[in-house]
Structure 1
C-alpha cells in the first residue's frame, strides 16, 4: 500500500473511533418485533444453538422448527449440520442484496451477478458448487419459486431474521431437488411499529500501476490511475406493522428501494483492457478490436485485398495500418459493466389471524421489479454478420480522399464503380444497451394450529410467478448501411445515391464519427428483439406432526416420545417463453411452453432411544421416506434418509446422516436436452483438425492442426483431409447443434458425519466438525460444445467425447442450420454425463466471553475444507478433482480451505459494538500445474506465469452505535485495506469475466465504505 492508502485507512478508522464518545446514552432499541439492536447477542446465541443442533426459540412457546425437519417439538436436535447467518451478521456487512450475504459462506459457491456483464440480473444459489437446480431455496419453510426462474433478491435484506443453510441432503423432507441442501430464509414477521432501514455505500479505491497498465499503454489505451470514489449503492426500506384485537391479528408490510451506479471496466486499472496470453508463458497483450472509433476498412478486391486499415486518428483523412497504437484499435470492453447499473423495488406484506390455538390463518406476499442493463458500443458490424453479401462503396464517394480511393478502387478511383469493402465502425456515441426487466410475485396462504398436546397441522400453498423481459440491442440494418455508404456529391452536399427515404450519408472514412442522425437512420424502424420468459410455481402442501409420547409411546430408556410428521404435496412448474420476430432473426430460437407436475408424500420419524443415562445422555434415531411421481417420467422416485445422534454426555454429540435422492430434470433441463437448435459457436475456436491460421499485415499462413491425426481419426475424419483448409469453419465459427438428448433422472447419495462439543468447563464455547460426502450418479448437467472438443483432445480420442463431433460426409463441421442437418456439427446441451462428486469438512465455532462490567466479546467461526469437487466425465476417464485449481474445465474455483472469523465487542449496555471480520480465501493453482493428468496437469502444460493465486485475506470493520431505543447508526468498511484482486490473463476462460480477475471469488472493486441506520418509531 502507498502512503495515500495508509492515510485513507487511518482517517477512516480514526473517524469511526473519534465518533464513539460523541454518541449519547444507553439503548437496547427493542420493540415488539425481533430485536432491532445491532448487537452481537442475537448472533452468538443463534450460532451457538445452530451449531449444537437446535434453533433459538423466538416464539416463546418452547416449540421450534429446525431447518431440515418438519417435526415441531421442544429442544429438538438436528442430525445434519446447519450454518446460520443472523440479522446482526447481515447488518455488519451492509449488503444491498442477498447475493452479498451468501457469497461469504464457504459452503456456497460464490456468485456475482452484479459484477458480471453477461448476467440476466437474477440471483440463484449453488451449494457445494453443485448447481442451483440441486439447491432448494425456502422462505419461512416454503419454496421460493421455480428452480429455473427464481430470483433470491426478491427477499429484502432488512427483513431477514436469519438464514439457515442446511448443507446436507434434505430431499426426503422438502423434495427430491434438495440434493445439495436447503437455504431457508427466516423473515421477521408479526412486526409492530414503524422502522426505517437505510444504507449507502460506495467504493474507495486506489488504482495503482500493475501488469495490465503497461500492456494497455502499449496498445494505445489510457489506464485510469489514482484514487476513485464510485459505485454508489443505496438501499432504503420502510417497514410498518400493527397488532389488533388483543394481538390476535397482526398486519405488517414493507417497501424497499435499491439502486446501484454503473462502474465500467475502464474505471479500474486492473481491467484497463482484457489481458491475453496466446501461448504458455508467452508475451502479454491486450485484446483489441477492429471496431474502432477511428473506423476499420479492408478492401475485398484489388491489389490491397485483405489488408487492414483504419482512418488516421489524427484526422488527416488517410488510411493507416490497423494495429496497436493510440486510436488505431479499440478496447472492446472498456465500457462493460464491472458493477451493473441496477434499480429495484421490493414490497410485501404479512398477515396472521389467531382465531384459536387450533386455528390460525396466515398469508404473505412478496413482489419485486428489477431493471438492469448490459452495455455495448454502438457499432456498424462487419457484413459477415448478416451473410455472405459484402458492403459496397462507390469509388466517387465524396468522403474518400485521393489516397483512400486509390487504396480501395485502384484505377477505378473517381468513378461510380462500387467495390466490396469490409467496413466496421464504433461510433463516438452513447452505448447501446441490453435491458433485463425482472418482475415477480410470491404469495402464500394457509391455516395451521395445534390440536391437543400432541398434534400440529399446517395446510397451505405457494404461488410464484417470475417474469423476465430481455430487450436486446439489434444489428443495424444491412440495407441501410449499404445505402448510407453509396454517397454522391449533389451541389457540394454528400447525398445518398439511392434516394431512400430518410437516408443519412455515412462518413466511414474519417475518425470519430458521432452523427446521431446517422445512428438513428441505421438503427431506426428495427423490429424489437424481445424475449419474454415466465416461470410459474403452484405448490400445495398438507403437513401434520405428532408427539406420540403423549400417548405413552416412548422408549423405556427415554423420556421423550416418538415423534413423526406426515405430509403430502402437489407441485406444478411451468416455464414458457415468447420471442418477437426480431429476436428470432438475430438470436434464433422459438417460443416454448413447458410444464411438469409432481405428487409427493412423505413420512418422517424421530425416536429418542436412550436419554439421561450413564454413558448415554442421548441416543436417537431419525428416518424419513418420500415417494415422488413426476408427470414427465413414467417411474416413481423414492427418497430416504437415516440419521443418528449419540451424546455420551451433554458436552459431546456425535451425529450422522445418510440420504438417497433421485432428481428429475427441471422443465428447462428437459427442454434443453430434447429440443434441437443450431447456432454458430462463439469465440474464435476453429475445427481442431483444420490448420491453424495466422494473419500478419494481411499475409495469411497455415500451421499444423491443434489435434493429432489419431484424435481427428476418432472424430470420423479421413487421414487425407487432416490439415485441409476445407475444414476451416466460416469466420472460425463451426455449427453447433443443441439438444437431441434424453435426460434421465439422477441419483444422489449424501453422507454427513459430525461431532459437536459444548464443554461445561468452558462456558460459552460451542464448536462442531462435520464430514460430508456427496456422489451423484447419472448426473444431469449442461455441457457446451467445448465439453466434447476439449474432452476429445484431452483423452487422445475417447469415443465418449469424440462422438459429439459429428462430421459431414466431406469432413466439415459447418452445416447450414436452415437445412436441419443430421451431420456437420458439434453437439452440446443438457444430458447425463456420469458422476458429480463433492467431499469435504465443515468447521463451526462460537465463543462468548463475558468481560464483566466492561462488556462482552463474541467470536464466530465458519470454515470449510474441500477435499473433492468435480466428478468423472465418462466411465473410461479418471475422476477430475478440481479442488484448489482453476482452468481446464475447473470452473468451481474452490480453494481447499476458506473461512470467516468475526470478533465482536459490545459494551455492557449495548450502546456501542465493534465487529472485526477476517475472511480468508485459500490459494488457487492453474490446473496445468496440478500434476494431475485428469485435469490437464501434464509436464508440458505447466506454466511459470499466472499459475498460482496466493491465499487472500480480507478484513472488515463495522462500528455500531445504539441510541435511546429508537436509533442505530453504523459505519462499515469492507475490505478495509483496499486489497487488489489477483490478476489473471485469459480470465474469461476461467471466470467468464473479461476484467482479468475472478470477481465472484474476490473483492474486485476495492474498499467498500458504508453508512447505515435503523430508526424505529
Structure 2
C-alpha cells in the first residue's frame, strides 16, 4: 500500500480514508492491498471506517475499494453505474432507467447497500457528509459526483454510526477525491447503443498545480455529460416486447398461466382517444377506421358479436388491437444532462496549520414522457355519472355535443332529474404527460488541520450543501375546469351578450367569466378546442440544505508493552443541521388535477454529537501473535427530534503470522427518522380490500372486540337499526385514507456482526501480490420505521384495544350519502417504529497483481473478484407478523459476483469485466410462493460482459474503445403485476434494459 508523509497527509486535508491508490482494486479490501513494505512511524494513514491516524492502520471491518483506473476502464458517465456491479449493492430506488414514472426524482442516481434501503446507506466525500438529492431523505444523488475527479471509492458494509453518525446502518460509501494533481488533463467520449439510440457524450477537463514553494495545491475540474432518452417501444425483454400492458395481465397472474412469461405481442389499453360511453343499455365507441359511432356491447352483460367485432374488440373484452398503445410514448431511459464543476485546494502555513477548501457544483436536467392521461368520469363526480342535461332558468336543456343515440339511451340514474352517462377517454388532445426536472447542487467545505505536537493532530471543518429542484409538467387535467366545460349549452338567448345565439357555451356564468371553453368528449380530436382550458400545468419546487461543523483530535497515548504499538485514539464533536421542503402546484395540493392530493412537506432538525474511538494494540511480534489489537468506538447524539441516541462498535483483529489476519466486529448503529418520516403531511388515498372488524357485532357479546366496536356512537346506531352492525359494499368503497409523517417516531437500531479472515501470503514469492478475504456479515435492524398497514390499524384498535391505533380511525356517526351510520369514513396511517429487517451473508474478495516477466511472459496481469452469497434476508412488517423473505428474490439474488481482468503490455491495455446475477424468484407477496420454492416464478441467472481496449501514445495521448453488455443480454420479463417497474415489464434497476453499447474516447495530458 502506498503511504504518505505527514506533509502529504496534511495537504490532502487529513481525509479519513486510506491515502493510497489501487490499480484495479475493485475487490481488494483497502488495508489488504498487497504491500511491498510496512509503513514507518512518520507515514501515518487513516482507514475508511475509522477516524484514527496511525502509522500501521488497518481496518477491522472489510473495506472494498474501487480505484480510479477501474472507473476509467468502465467508461461510465455516472458513478452509480459502476457501484451497482459490486455485489454488496442492492437494486437502486432511483436510477436513470427506473424513474420514468416518478412523481419526483426523475433521473436521480442513488445506491442501496445490502438491500436495506437508501436511507440506511451513508455517502461521504473525503469522509464528510454530502447534502441529499432526494427531498426529505438523506440519500445522495450520485449525479453530483464527478467520476473523473475521483481517486477511488471505499465501501464499508455493516454499522458505522459510531464513527460517522446516523444513516450508516447498512454501511458507508466514502468517495475520495484526487489530490496534489499537477498539469492539465482533457478527455472526451462518445457512445451509442447497437440499435443506434441512447447516445452518450462526455467532455471533461482537470487542471491543477502547486504554489507557494509547493506548500499549496489547487485543482479544478469541469465536466459535461449528456445521455439521450430511449423509448420503451424500441426494446424487448427475453420474452418479447417491453410494450406488454399490465392491464391485460391482471387475470393471468392469479394462476399458473403457462403463457405468462412468454408474451409475443404488445397488449393495448382500453382507454383510447375516441372514448367509451356507457348509457343505460350500451357501451358506445367510435370505429377507428370509419369514425362511425357504434354500440360495442350491452351494459346488461350480453354482447352483439357483430357490433363488438366492428369496434375491433374481442368478445367480452374491453382491451384489444383497437385500444391504445401506451408504449409509443413511454421512455424507460430518461435523458440526463449534467454540468459539473469541482475544486480542491490547500495551503500549508506551517506544520500546525494547513488550510483546505473543497467544493462541487452540479446542474442536472432530466425529463420524463409517458402516454396521455387515461381519464374517466369518476374524476368529475363521486359516482362517475355525469349529466348530459342542465337547468337553465328552470328549463332542462340538452348538451348539444351528445350524440342522439347515446342521449336517447340515457336516463336519470342518480336522482337529480337530469340524464347522465359514464365515460372514459384517453386525453390525447392534451398531449403526453411530461415533466422537466432541473436540479442544482452546491457543496462547500472549509477547514484547517495540522500537528499539535508529537503524534497528535487536529482538524476542524465546516460543510454547507444545498440542492434546489424545479420541476414543470404537462398533460394533467384541471378537474374543476373539466366539470364546468362539460356543462355545455347552445346560447339561444345570448347569455354572454355577444349577439351570437347559435354558439355553444359553458352554462355557468361564473365559469364563463373565468374563460370556460365548452368541451366535446365524443370522438377523436374532439377536445382540441378546449385543450388549453382543460390542461393543468404542474410544478414542483424543492429545497434541501445541510450544515455540518465538526472538530476532532487524534493521536497516540502509551504502549501496553510486549512489542505492541501505542494506543491510538480519536475524539471529537459535531453539529449538524438539516432542512428540506417540497411544494407542488395548487391544483396538485388540492387533488384537483385528476390525482391524489399532495400537500407540501417542510421540516428541519439539528443534532449535537460527540465521539471517542480507540485502537488498543495488545501484542506484537510474539509467537502466534504477530499482532493482536482491540478497538472500539462510541458516539452519543442529541437530536432535536428523537432526543439522545447511542451508537458503538468494538472489535478484535489477530494475526498469528504475517500472512493471515482474523478480524471480528460488533456494532450498534442508529438511524434517526428523516424529514419525510417526521413531517410529511397527510397524503390522500382511496384504499380497497379493507375488512371492518366490527361487521356482524350485535348489541351484546363479542368480548373485547364487541365492547370496542360499540364504543363508537355510529356503530351503536347501526346495530339499533339492523340488529347487527351491517356493512354494505358502498360503505367499503367509500373509505378514504390519509397517510403522513409521525413526530413521535424514535430512532432505528441496527446491530451487526462481521467476522472474517484476510490471507496475503507474502512469504511465497509467486503469491505475495495475492490477497484473499472472506467475511461473514449479519445485520439486524429493530424498531425499523415503516408505514403502518391500514388493516393492521383496524385490527389493533378493535381487536386489541390499542388507543394509539384508534386515533387513526374516523367513523360516520350518522348515515352519509350512500354510506351507513358507523361505517368507516377514514382509516389513516403514518410512520411507526414497528418493523424489522435482517440480512446476512458471506463476502469473498480476491485481488491479484503480477508482473509476468518473472514467468517468462510479457506484460502485467491484474485480477479482482468480489462475490457475495446471501444467507438470509427478510423484513418483519409488524410485530408478530410473518417474515417477508427477500433473500433469493429479484434484486437480492443469493449469488452475485463481479470479476475484473486487466492485461497490459507496453502501450496497450485490455480490460474485461464480468458481472453475474444469480437466479431469483419473484416477490412472494405477489406470487404467494416463497423464494426458491416454485420454478414457475423464477427468473434465470444473467451474466454481463464488458470490455475496453486502451492505447497510449507516449505520455500525453491515450485512446480507447469499449463495449458494455457485449453479449447483448435482454432483460427478463417481469410484469408490473409481479413486481416489474411500471411500464417497463422488467426490473430495470437490476437488469440491463439498454442492451449492447459501444463507446470511444480519448484523453490528453500535458
- Using the size of structure 2 for normalisation, the TM-score is 0.80
- What is residue 114 of structure 1 aligned with on the other side? 96
The answer as to whether partners of 1:570 and 1:599 remain within 8 angstroms in 2 is yes
- What is residue 924 of structure 1 aligned with on the other side? 920
- What is residue 424 of structure 1 aligned with on the other side? 425
- What is residue 565 of structure 1 aligned with on the other side? 570
Unaligned runs of at least 5 residues, structure 1 = 1-31, 34-39, 205-227, 411-415, 691-708, 887-892
Aligned residue among 191, 213, 226 for 1:201: 191
> Once the 2 structures are TM-superposed, how far is the Cα of residue 827 of structure 1 from its aligned partner?
3.8
Instruction: Give the alignment's Cα RMSD to 1 decimal.
Output: 4.1
- What is residue 994 of structure 1 aligned with on the other side? 983
Alpha-carbon distance in 1 for matches of 2:980, 2:191: 26
Alpha-carbon distance in 2 for matches of 1:58, 1:536: 43
The answer as to whether partners of 1:655 and 1:755 remain within 8 angstroms in 2 is yes
> Once the 2 structures are TM-superposed, how far is the Cα of residue 51 of structure 1 from its aligned partner?
5.8
Q: How does 1:928-943 map to 2 (within 5 A)?
A: 928=924, 936-937=928-929
- What is residue 86 of structure 1 aligned with on the other side? 67
> Once the 2 structures are TM-superposed, how far is the Cα of residue 659 of structure 1 from its aligned partner?
1.0
- Quick check: 1:374 aligned with 2:374? no
Distance 1:815 1:769, change over 3 A: farther
> Once the 2 structures are TM-superposed, how far is the Cα of residue 534 of structure 1 from its aligned partner?
1.7
- Quick check: 1:618 aligned with 2:627? yes
- What is residue 895 of structure 1 aligned with on the other side? 893
Deviations 1:881-930 (A, max 9, x none): 321025xxxxxx311110001111111x2x11111111111111245499
Aligned residue among 311, 329, 332 for 2:286: 311
- What is residue 271 of structure 1 aligned with on the other side? 242
- What is residue 825 of structure 2 aligned with on the other side? 824
- Quick check: 1:437 aligned with 2:438? yes
> Once the 2 structures are TM-superposed, how far is the Cα of residue 518 of structure 1 from its aligned partner?
3.4
The answer as to whether partners of 2:788 and 2:830 remain within 8 angstroms in 1 is yes
> Once the 2 structures are TM-superposed, how far is the Cα of residue 1011 of structure 1 from its aligned partner?
2.0
Q: How does 1:751-900 map to 2 (within 5 A)?
A: 751-760=753-762, 761=764, 762-783=767-788, 785=790, 809=811, 824-852=825-853, 854-885=858-889, 893-900=891-898
Distance 1:417 1:751, change over 3 A: closer
Q: How does 1:182-261 map to 2 (within 5 A)?
A: 182-204=172-194, 228-261=195-228
The answer as to whether partners of 1:297 and 1:308 remain within 8 angstroms in 2 is yes
- Quick check: 1:141 aligned with 2:108? no
Alpha-carbon distance in 2 for matches of 1:312, 1:797: 55
> Once the 2 structures are TM-superposed, how far is the Cα of residue 520 of structure 1 from its aligned partner?
2.0
The answer as to whether partners of 2:380 and 2:483 remain within 8 angstroms in 1 is no
Aligned residue among 750, 753, 764 for 2:752: 750
Alpha-carbon distance in 1 for matches of 2:463, 2:363: 19
Alpha-carbon distance in 1 for matches of 2:852, 2:706: 74
> Once the 2 structures are TM-superposed, how far is the Cα of residue 289 of structure 1 from its aligned partner?
3.7
The answer as to whether partners of 1:806 and 1:823 remain within 8 angstroms in 2 is no
The answer as to whether partners of 2:278 and 2:284 remain within 8 angstroms in 1 is yes
> Once the 2 structures are TM-superposed, how far is the Cα of residue 482 of structure 1 from its aligned partner?
4.5
Aligned residue among 255, 262, 276 for 1:280: 255
Alpha-carbon distance in 2 for matches of 1:52, 1:258: 35
SS of the aligned residue for 1:165 comes to strand
Aligned residue among 939, 944, 954 for 1:949: 939
Alpha-carbon distance in 1 for matches of 2:271, 2:65: 49
SS of the aligned residue for 2:196 comes to strand
Alpha-carbon distance in 1 for matches of 2:815, 2:44: 64
- Quick check: 1:1005 aligned with 2:991? no
The answer as to whether partners of 2:556 and 2:567 remain within 8 angstroms in 1 is yes
SS of the aligned residue for 1:100 comes to helix
Distance 1:193 1:288, change over 3 A: same
Mean CA deviation greater in 131-140 or 961-970: 961-970
The answer as to whether partners of 2:354 and 2:450 remain within 8 angstroms in 1 is yes
Q: How does 1:130-169 map to 2 (within 5 A)?
A: 130-146=116-132, 147-148=137-138, 150-169=140-159
- Quick check: 1:915 aligned with 2:924? no
Distance 1:812 1:291, change over 3 A: farther
Mean CA deviation greater in 76-85 or 228-237: 228-237
> Once the 2 structures are TM-superposed, how far is the Cα of residue 503 of structure 1 from its aligned partner?
5.9
SS of the aligned residue for 1:901 comes to strand
Q: How does 1:430-829 map to 2 (within 5 A)?
A: 430-473=431-474, 474-480=476-482, 482-483=484-485, 486=488, 488=490, 495-496=504-505, 498=507, 500=512, 506-512=519-525, 515=528, 517-523=529-535, 529-548=538-557, 553-586=558-591, 587-634=596-643, 636-672=644-680, 675=681, 677-681=682-686, 685-687=688-690, 724-730=728-734, 734-739=736-741, 742-760=744-762, 761=764, 762-783=767-788, 785=790, 809=811, 824-829=825-830
Distance 1:325 1:729, change over 3 A: closer
Alpha-carbon distance in 2 for matches of 1:564, 1:814: 68
Mean CA deviation greater in 766-775 or 261-270: 261-270
Alpha-carbon distance in 1 for matches of 2:376, 2:352: 71
Deviations 1:144-202 (A, max 9, x none): 12553642321111111111000122111111332211110011233222222323223
Distance 1:140 1:995, change over 3 A: same
Aligned length: 891
Distance 1:668 1:494, change over 3 A: same
Alpha-carbon distance in 2 for matches of 1:434, 1:786: 35
> Once the 2 structures are TM-superposed, how far is the Cα of residue 981 of structure 1 from its aligned partner?
1.0
Deviations 1:756-798 (A, max 9, x none): 0011322321110001111122222345658879x99xxx999
Mean CA deviation greater in 478-487 or 230-239: 478-487
- Using the size of structure 1 for normalisation, the TM-score is 0.79
Distance 1:812 1:666, change over 3 A: farther
> Once the 2 structures are TM-superposed, how far is the Cα of residue 813 of structure 1 from its aligned partner?
14
Deviations 1:299-323 (A, max 9, x none): 3xxx33xx43322111333135275
SS of the aligned residue for 1:92 comes to helix
Alpha-carbon distance in 2 for matches of 1:442, 1:816: 56
Deviations 1:361-405 (A, max 9, x none): 111111112222232434473232244385444697776666555
Deviations 1:389-437 (A, max 9, x none): 8544469777666655555589xxxxx9975452523326642323332
The answer as to whether partners of 1:169 and 1:750 remain within 8 angstroms in 2 is yes
Distance 1:802 1:1008, change over 3 A: farther
SS of the aligned residue for 1:381 comes to strand
The answer as to whether partners of 1:729 and 1:813 remain within 8 angstroms in 2 is no
Unaligned runs of at least 5 residues, structure 2 = 1-10, 13-19, 297-312, 390-396, 493-499, 694-701, 710-714
Distance 1:542 1:615, change over 3 A: same
- What is residue 968 of structure 1 aligned with on the other side? 958
- What is residue 703 of structure 1 aligned with on the other side? none
> Once the 2 structures are TM-superposed, how far is the Cα of residue 340 of structure 1 from its aligned partner?
0.9
Deviations 1:339-372 (A, max 9, x none): 1122222222222112222211111111112222
- What is residue 693 of structure 1 aligned with on the other side? none
SS of the aligned residue for 2:113 comes to coil
- Quick check: 1:125 aligned with 2:111? yes
Distance 1:797 1:768, change over 3 A: farther
Alpha-carbon distance in 2 for matches of 1:480, 1:754: 65
SS of the aligned residue for 1:854 comes to coil
> Once the 2 structures are TM-superposed, how far is the Cα of residue 297 of structure 1 from its aligned partner?
2.2
Aligned residue among 364, 378, 392 for 2:358: 364
Distance 1:530 1:504, change over 3 A: closer
Mean CA deviation greater in 375-384 or 61-70: 375-384
> Once the 2 structures are TM-superposed, how far is the Cα of residue 88 of structure 1 from its aligned partner?
1.7
Alpha-carbon distance in 1 for matches of 2:803, 2:887: 23
Alpha-carbon distance in 2 for matches of 1:195, 1:786: 60
